[in-house]
Amino acid sequence: MTSEEMGDTPNVNPAGGSPHTPGKDPKTQADRANVEAQLSRLREDVASLTEAVKSMATHGAQDVRRQAFALGDDVKERGEYYVRQAQDAAADLEEEVSEKIRAEPIKSVLIAAGIGYLYARLFR
């Protein structure tokens, strides 16, 4: 059986009517070159996007690091502020107690003795 009997017809070039080999047609070659050029541009775009993402991630990490250090410094400053505030309050209380003791020494001694007695009774 021949290929014509099987129903297979050779590829015929519409312009000339003669058979041609697929992929050898100038239009097909031009399309292939166009696709390859587009793929090349696409690869370049993907590489550019990859670099942009890396850059954004690096800058983002640096921003987060900078913010973390700033937050740490802020927490440290607030902690120091609260410690100073507590020290000032303790100093004020000490000064106030000292003034009351100087103003009423007998009363202060009796209060201290009563507190000492209760402490001794509770923790014996």
Summarised one tens digit per residue, pLDDT across range 72-124 is 999 999 999 999 999 999 999 999 999 989 999 999 999 999 999 999 999 98
User: Could you tell me if residue 4 is inside a domain?
Assistant: no
pLDDT, mean of residues 23-43: 84
pLDDT, mean of residues 30-53: 88
Give CA 81 to chain center in angstroms.
29
Q: What is the three-class DSSP state of 12?
A: strand
Q: Both ends of the chain: CA-CA distance in Å?
A: 120
Contact in structure between 11 and 3 (CB atoms under 8 Å): no
Looking at residue 22, what is its pLDDT? Answer: 55
More confident residue, 46 or 3: 46
User: Could you tell me if residue 71 is inside a domain?
Assistant: yes
Domain span holding position 92: 26-117
Looking at residue 3, what is its pLDDT? Answer: 47
User: Could you tell me if residue 123 is inside a domain?
Assistant: no
With a CB cutoff of 8 Å and minimum separation 6, the contacts of 29 are: 23
Looking at residue 84, what is its pLDDT? Answer: 95
Contact in structure between 13 and 19 (CB atoms under 8 Å): yes
User: Could you tell me if residue 10 is inside a domain?
Assistant: no
- Total domains, the chain: 1
More confident residue, 7 or 96: 96
Give CA 76 to chain center in angstroms.
22
More confident residue, 118 or 27: 118
User: Could you tell me if residue 33 is inside a domain?
Assistant: yes
pLDDT digits over 45-70, tens only?
A: 888 888 888 888 888 888 888 889 99
User: Could you tell me if residue 20 is inside a domain?
Assistant: no
User: Could you tell me if residue 14 is inside a domain?
Assistant: no
CA distance 74 to 80: 10
Confidence bin at 12 (pLDDT 50/70/90): very low
CA distance 85 to 94: 14
Contact in structure between 55 and 63 (CB atoms under 8 Å): no
CA dihedral (67, 72, 73, 78) positive or negative: positive
User: Could you tell me if residue 18 is inside a domain?
Assistant: no
